[in-house]
Structure 1
Amino acid sequence: MNDAPDQTLIDRCLAGQTEAFGVLVERYQHRLYGSLVHVVGSRDQAQDIAQDAFAHAFEKLSSFRGQSAFYSWLFRIALNAAVSARRKTRRISGSVDAHREATGAEPIDTRTSTAPDHAAHVADRQQLVQRALAQLPEEYRTALVLKEMDDLKYEEIADILGVPLGTVRSRIHRARQELRTRLQWALQAEE
């Protein structure tokens, strides 16, 4: 069953063989999680959104029409969940900012690092890229993640995002330009 096409697994699941959905989860969980980490910028939040997306996909599996790839449909569900989570986070962060202003309290980073210099340098660079990626407008970041991290074709990205192909190409081009500029700026600031 593990090598069965997605549509076969979907049909089996709809026929009552719910373990077939487990195969779909195994097939796409790492890919979806990895993409979501880059979209939302938080591993914990990406994990929560991925779980919610799979649960929602299971509940709504009968509405999958097969007009696009299953992963495209699943990612769209996850993207909608990420947008909802971002709205909720903005409301919460507003109250955190208000508390910070009222009390002057700053969050404390309790993590310690015992990694060698090279590993620390690599981690710093990865963090720099993540911060620059997180600063991109959401529509640019999402398109870029789908292209570069998920290695999707422009047509698939257009289908997931529900926008014309030219818009996808434009967003990815602008995202690359903006990311390059932000990284150059950050690297110059380090020197």
Structure 2
Amino acid sequence: MAQETFLRVLRQHATRGNRPFKSWLYAIATNLARDHFKSSATRLSTPLASEHEVWILDEVPGPEEYALRGEQRSALVDALNLLGMEYRTTLWLRFYCDLSLQGIADTLGIPLGTVKWRLSTGLRRLRSLLASSADTYC
């Protein structure tokens, strides 16, 4: 259905008029989905809910999960603060700023090999610090 939606967008682009693109795109997709599920072939091939139970999971985290995430974040920040500045900076640019390795090298003005070494060493030290802090809590 997604592919058919984009094909119709390409074919009918001139007939859009002054409608905003987003609402026009959603209208096309909604109509295609409605037509698909109206067809008798789809109704006959779709199993009934009683035959195959469908579980709808609540994906919103509860208070316990928020508390656990807070503890994990706190442990990670504490461990990061124990690392040397060069490792902390490299890890931060890679995983929080989502820079490429070459982007980190350009930002810090260091060779690409140094970036790789700092990431490898920093991750190893961070893993070790987190493992030792996990042992402390257990």
The TM-score range, normalised by the shorter chain, is: 0.5 to 0.7
Q: Letter of the aligned partner of 2:80 in structure 1?
A: L
3-state SS in 2 of match to 1:129: helix
Counterpart among 63, 69, 73 of residue 122 in structure 1: 69
3-state SS in 2 of match to 1:151: coil
Partner of 1:147: 94
Counterpart among 114, 118, 121 of residue 171 in structure 1: 118
Partner of 2:46: none
Q: Letter of the aligned partner of 1:145 in structure 2?
A: W
Larger Rg: 2
Q: Letter of the aligned partner of 1:123 in structure 2?
A: G
Counterpart among 182, 187, 190 of residue 129 in structure 2: 182
Q: CA deviation at 1:118?
A: 3.4
CA RMSD of the aligned region, Å? 1.4
Structure 1 unaligned segments of length 5 or more: list them: 1-114
Q: CA deviation at 1:134?
A: 1.1
For 2:66 and 2:100, the matched residues in 1 are separated by 33
**1:119/1:159 CA distance change after superposition, 3 Å:** same
| TM-score normalised by length of structure 2 | 0.53
Structure 2 unaligned segments of length 5 or more: list them: 1-61
Q: CA deviation at 1:122?
A: 1.7
Counterpart among 74, 84, 104 of residue 157 in structure 1: 104
Q: CA deviation at 1:121?
A: 2.1
Q: 1:140-176 deviations in whole A, cap 9, x for unaligned?
A: 0101111111111111111111111110100011110
Equivalent pairs, count: 77
For 1:118 and 1:166, the matched residues in 2 are separated by 39
Partner of 2:78: 131
Q: Percentage identity across aligned positions?
A: 35
Q: CA deviation at 1:139?
A: 0.3
| TM-score normalised by length of structure 1 | 0.38
